[in-house]
A and B are shown apart, each in its own frame.
Chain A
Amino acid sequence: MAWFKRTDKGIKTSTAEKKDTPDGLWFKTPNGNIIHTRELKNNAYVCPDDDFHVKIGSKEYFEILFDNNKFTELDKDMKSGDPLKFSDTKPYSSRITETIKKSELNDAVRTAHGKMNGLEIVVACMDFNFIGGSMGSVVGEKISRAIDYSLKNKVPFLMISKSGGARMMEAGFSLMQMAKTSAKLALLDQAGIPYISLLTDPTTGGVTASYAMLGDFNIAEPGALIGFAGPRVIRETIGKDLPKGFQSSEFVLEHGFLDFIIDRRQLKSRLTTLLNLLNN
């Protein structure tokens, strides 16, 4: 007789009660290195073995940059309208509701002010997991208001971009956010307040063609995809394979559109040095 006798056949746990292995306890980089998430967090979400920069969002960037993770968030509750009653395979309004629930974010950017190594700074940081970090009215308006805050309080502005581009579901409205944010940056420029644009993986489309490329300092994380048109579109246009490393941070630096590439582990200290150099 078997030591154990299975009295019930098959899996009895209902889907609702299903227990997953805790999600994301271990992280595997594209190079195959495996790292515990706790260690990853302590290392600014960079894999120590291969320097791979894991995609992170506003929560993590704020934690990395603001002293003691203390900051005041601006326009926290702003949410997307649905001006065009847009519908593709599903209505935009339900897409928004679902994404808010899933991502626990209200839209694809969060803006805040606080201190970074004691220096006042305004940070706007995009979240890619909110509809691909796409820029619609909320993104445009929140960035604009964050710049207004910078202008009013004469505080440097840091923009962390991570986006597939403009949000199609707000069509013409999305397009005009490129104009709106650029207008505000023109005012910031005129007022002589520093604007640092940090481009992270990926930064493409209308975001590249507006605020992401307008920094006094354009900087990027290593290995990020940065471009105007996406690689697939370019490949289809020219009918050829793209060279290795095309549209990477290193490529963009080489072609003269970035000031420097920054390892995320040094981000806070380098930004502090840069702002101090401007102040002294």
Chain B
Amino acid sequence: MVLEFEKPIADLEQKLQEMKDLAKGRNIDLSSDIESLEEKILALKKETFENLTRWQRVQLSRHADRPYALDYIYEITNDFIELHGDRTVKDDKAMVGGLGDIDGRTVMFIGQQKGRNTKQRQERNFGMANPEGYRKALRLMKMAEKFGKPIVTLIDTPGAFPGLEAEERGQGEAIARNLKEMFMLKVPVICIIIGEGASGGALGIAIGDRVFMLENTWYSVISPESCSSILWRSWDYKEQAAEALKLTAKDMKQNGLIDEIIPEPLGGAHKDLKWMSKTIKEAIIQSLKELDKLKPEKRIEQRIDKFCSMGVFVE
């Protein structure tokens, strides 16, 4: 999949390929041409990706090739055992979780999961969890607390599912309970926005001692499309809405609403899953090193203080 703003790069890359094929097929030396074109492509890439608009980052966060929670989990861990079900209603496949190890240390992983093809997307409900998903997440978090294992959540959702059954089973209550319970977890909690961080559906697993955003992700109270439809009464103002919402990692960091940004490879996380996973893994290890030094009560106090200091008002 090539996004609109990636087209000039893709065109050049195609030209480069043609040139390489030509050089090989006719056995002529085009190496200096190839080299200069490669340099040109790299420069264009850098320029493009350093100057992305907020909406373009939103597009990148939804890129069809972007790695999802389980992609990272399997890259980061040696062993991983997925755990299912909320013990009440069913197993929500939009929310995954399980025990895995990071260099031998056991961690509880939890995250929203999107699907790669039509069938999977349906099964994963496009990464939109139902109440049972949030309750499954909470069950696993409590289990982690019981066994003294740190928690890592990977957030990637266009929102909690707005469906009929979701309302019947208390979507609002499920998210609210998670917010409250996550503040009191005695184990370290690290939250990483890996794709889309839409509103309460994202926040429902995003209360942590450290909150990270990957470079090309978004996190806000509403998606730019819905914001456009409500405030502008039309779906056509999503670019403006994205600008107004200040929803990128850089914006959120600047406003003190997240702790750190994790850089992505040039072109986005999907360009190099191994590198991206390694970088995420390092961020987790570093955070755990810092958080291990604190007593549980201190961690809880700092977690509460951090979120309670968020807000701008005049008195």
Interface positions of A (Cβ within 8 A of B): 75, 77-84, 86-89, 137-138, 140-141, 144, 166-168, 170-180, 182-187, 189-190, 205-206, 208-214, 227-229, 233-234, 237-238, 240, 242, 246-247, 255-257
Complex Cα–Cα for A172 and B179 (A): 16
Can you list 24 pairs linking A and B with CB atoms under 8 Å apart?
Answer: A79-B315, A83-B312, A84-B245, A88-B241, A89-B231, A137-B310, A141-B313, A166-B221, A171-B222, A172-B219, A172-B221, A172-B255, A173-B257, A176-B310, A182-B179, A184-B308, A186-B183, A209-B204, A213-B176, A228-B160, A228-B172, A233-B162, A237-B161, A247-B167
Contact stretch, chosen from B103-111, B116-124, B246-254 = B246-254
Say yes or no: B311 contacts A141, CB within 8 Å.
yes
**What size tier do the contact residues of chain B reach?**
35 or more
Q: Which chain A residues lie closer than 8 Å to B252 at the CB level?
A: 172
Complex Cα–Cα for A273 and B303 (A): 36
Q: Which chain A residues lie closer than 8 Å to B176 at the CB level?
A: 178, 182, 208-214
Q: Which residue of A lies closest to B304 (CB)?
A: A183
Q: Which residue of A lies closest to B310 (CB)?
A: A176
Interface of B, secondary structure class, is helix
Say yes or no: B308 contacts A255, CB within 8 Å.
no
Q: Which residue of B lies closest to A199 (CB)?
A: B172
Interface check B203, CB cutoff 8 A:
yes
Binary per-residue interface labels of chain B (290-315) against chain A in the complex, 1 for a CB within 8 Å, 0 otherwise: 00000000000001100110111111
Complex Cα–Cα for A227 and B175 (A): 12
How near does chain A come to B202, taking the closest CB pair, in angstroms? Answer: 8
Say yes or no: B170 contacts A138, CB within 8 Å.
no
Cβ 8 A contact of A77, one of B227, B231, B315: B315
Contacts A209-B176, A228-B175, A233-B162 given; does A175 touch B307 at CB 8 Å: no
Interface of A, secondary structure class, is helix
Q: Which residue of B lies closest to A81 (CB)?
A: B312
Say yes or no: B220 contacts A175, CB within 8 Å.
yes
Say yes or no: B203 contacts A178, CB within 8 Å.
yes
Binary per-residue interface labels of chain B (174-187) against chain A in the complex, 1 for a CB within 8 Å, 0 otherwise: 01110111011000
Q: Which residue of B lies closest to A218 (CB)?
A: B173
Besides the contacts A167-B221, A180-B308, A212-B176, what 18 more A-B pairs have beta carbons closer than 8 Å? A82-B312, A84-B255, A88-B232, A88-B241, A138-B313, A171-B245, A172-B220, A172-B221, A172-B252, A183-B179, A184-B308, A190-B184, A208-B172, A210-B200, A228-B160, A229-B160, A234-B162, A238-B163
Cβ 8 A contact of A242, one of B160, B164, B303: B164
Cβ 8 A contact of B310, one of A173, A214, A234: A173
Say yes or no: A227 contacts B221, CB within 8 Å.
no
Interface check B230, CB cutoff 8 A:
yes
Say yes or no: A171 contacts B200, CB within 8 Å.
no
Q: Which residue of B lies closest to A90 (CB)?
A: B231
Which parts of B151-167 form the interface with A (CB within 8 Å)? 160-164, 166-167
Say yes or no: A180 contacts B307, CB within 8 Å.
yes
Say yes or no: A84 contacts B164, CB within 8 Å.
no
Say yes or no: B167 contacts A228, CB within 8 Å.
yes
Say yes or no: A81 contacts B314, CB within 8 Å.
yes
Say yes or no: B246 contacts A171, CB within 8 Å.
yes
How near does chain B come to A249, taking the closest CB pair, in angstroms? Answer: 13
Say yes or no: A144 contacts B308, CB within 8 Å.
yes
